[in-house]
Structure 1
Amino acid sequence: MIMGELQSLASSGLPEALVNALTLAVAARPQEKAPGHYELQGEEVFMNVMQFATQPPEQKKAELHEQYIDIQLLLTGEERILFGVAGSARECEEMHHDEDYQLCSRIDGEQSMVLKPGMFVVFMPGEPHKPGCIVGTAGEIKKVVVKVRASLLTA
């Protein structure tokens, strides 16, 4: 997991493929888009724009991925994300290979972070994360999740 802010993206130390993906997403102006799926570089890099109310963490499940890196960028509101290191997901359901996600009920050694607008977090394959959790009281958020095929880091 890597956390950062858009304003310091150039000096973030992220691999070039991730900086490029975030730059493409920001250039597509997700704050002006309706919720939905938007291709940036075909199936190699795309973004999902989302808008929803945050929920208590006990009402949500953690997710993890095999094929894609998640870059979650908060556009509006505040969001708590619970997360763990690779291998810490427990009580997992079956992997949905076609959609590249697996849901899990528990994260061993769970950690927590709060995102504010302009902040992003990168989750590598296998790192469980539970986004969209409340900060204080429930509130509406808008975010973009940039999906980057993990093989782009080794290409």
Structure 2
Amino acid sequence: MILGEVRSLPSTGLHPVLQEALTLALTARPQEKTPGRVELRGDDIFMNVMTFTTQFPAEKKAELHEQYIDIQLLLSGEERIQFGVMGSARQCETFHAEEDYQLCNEITDKQSVTLQPGMFAVFMPGEPHKPGCAIREPGEIKKVVVKVRASLLDA
């Protein structure tokens, strides 16, 4: 997991592909978009704009991906994301290859991070994460999840 802020993007030390993906997403002005998928570079880099009410962590499941890196960028509200290291997901359901996700009921030795608007968290394939968790009480948030094909980092 990598944590950063948009305002310091040039100095975050992110891989150039991840920095490009965030730059493409920000240039697309996600705060003005309605919820849905926005293609940035076809199926290699795209973003999902979403608005929803956060939930208590016990009401949510963690997610895993194999093919895509998730860049979770908060636009408004506040959100806690629970996460773990690779191999820490437990009680996992069937993997959905078409949508590149697997839901899991537990993360052993989980950690958490709190995002404020303008902050982002990067989750690599295999790193379980449970986004959209309430901090004190459920609240409305708007966020973007930038999906980056992991193989792009090998190029």
Same fold at TM > 0.5: yes
Report SS of the residue matched to 2:19.
helix
AA aligned to 1:67 is Q
Report SS of the residue matched to 2:49.
strand
Tell me, in whole angstroms, the C-alpha distance in 1 between the residues paired with 2:12 and 2:5: 8
Equivalent residue number for residue 28 of structure 1: 28
Alignment TM-score, normalising by the size of structure 2: 0.99
Tell me, in whole angstroms, the C-alpha distance in 1 between the residues paired with 2:130 and 2:55: 11
Correspondences of 1:4-83 after superposition (within 5 Å): 4-83=4-83
Q: CA deviation at 1:137?
A: 1.0
Say how many residue pairs are matched: 155
Moved over 3 A (4+): none
Tell me, in whole angstroms, the C-alpha distance in 1 between the residues paired with 2:34 and 2:63: 23
Tell me, in whole angstroms, the C-alpha distance in 2 between the residues paired with 1:138 and 1:148: 29
Q: CA deviation at 1:138?
A: 0.9
Tell me, in whole angstroms, the C-alpha distance in 1 between the residues paired with 2:112 and 2:144: 19
Tell me, in whole angstroms, the C-alpha distance in 2 between the residues paired with 1:56 and 1:136: 8
Report SS of the residue matched to 1:69.
strand
AA aligned to 2:141 is I
Do structure 1's residue 116 and structure 2's residue 116 form an aligned pair? yes
Tell me, in whole angstroms, the C-alpha distance in 2 between the residues paired with 1:87 and 1:14: 23
- Cα RMSD after superposing both structures: 0.3
Deviations 1:122-143 (A, max 9, x none): 0000000000000111110000
AA aligned to 1:99 is E
Report SS of the residue matched to 1:63.
strand
- Aligned-pair identity in percent equals 70
Tell me, in whole angstroms, the C-alpha distance in 2 between the residues paired with 1:124 and 1:89: 14
Report SS of the residue matched to 1:51.
strand
